[in-house]
Chains A and B, each alone.
Chain A
């Protein structure tokens, strides 16, 4: 009993004293979110390269891949991996086409009939558009750092929450786009995306949303 009491007094009480102010007065991030929303509202097109770093339990090593990401307002996307295996998809509104460079196959999809692609498309569009309203509907947000802005997002949807622990989004210094996304799964696997060479509101090439020719 005395051991328990000592533990309570020496460890838990100080911890509670530190944490309780945070619980009592959570940081109001609304102004910051409004600022992010305003900064991203002028984005009509976005083009960037990215590096993806996956830490998966089923792989003995981390998986590194590179690719490019293109967005055009309101809902066109191109997500393309260039290494180690060429693959990706384009999305034009509700319909899209994905390809696999390895099998040299293409496949059309609709976000209506392919719920996984629907969720992925919504996620990517939300990051590209910095769609704060959508993110607020889907996630509980916590501010990690304000310079640069880093938000941690906890899924509200039970289905998503069953395999996603949280998302951590790091914004660029000018707050106009997302610089990094970290997704941590319940099982401990994680995926980190680092966006670089980000160009905003540039004129996109005509074939930006066309699938490769095999």
Chain B
């Protein structure tokens, strides 16, 4: 492996995020073990990745506190999401003004009733997301790993904003028809959390999980998920991945020899709510 290949294939970034194949990882390690240039790049890239995750965590905490204090869903939104929120807010405002001109008094009465329902709905969602966040934090603490030690799902879960939590049951091999697990994806939440409970194998050092669509395409994956002493594995997904349809989460365990073996399978149906 030479520097041209390393630069062309983003090998440093893929190594730092744990996305190289075992063969590529071995090859890259044999190259960089005494290459100061690559060692510097690895350190810098890892620092940048950790700093980005730190900023995301700060923004998530700020957003949660701001929403709680102000009761406004758009307060304290992270730098990532501001342009989108402004666009959505502009669209909502445009529709509201147009409706008010056309419908008159009757429209304003209807708008008031909608606002009251929306306010009640937001309060329910805040309570749900706070409960989900507390559950995720408990699971992170039980896993025994800290965010700064390893680039893994534990770190990702600790850095994410509050998300609705869904508990999935294992899908047995012979099950046919529609999946038994169903989740309603709220549109306002950028993340959802899935709690995957299954019988752990003590021979597995860690786990990886993949989200597949109905055609078997992998939409999302995560590696280095630590195995908690008891309980379920929790994963957090961007909710934009889940449109209406059938999905599955495949969990595989990493053996001491470096092989992945199937551990559990969860089929579910996603229904985005309005």
Answer whether A and B are interacting partners: no
B residues sitting closer than 8 Å to A (CB atoms) are none
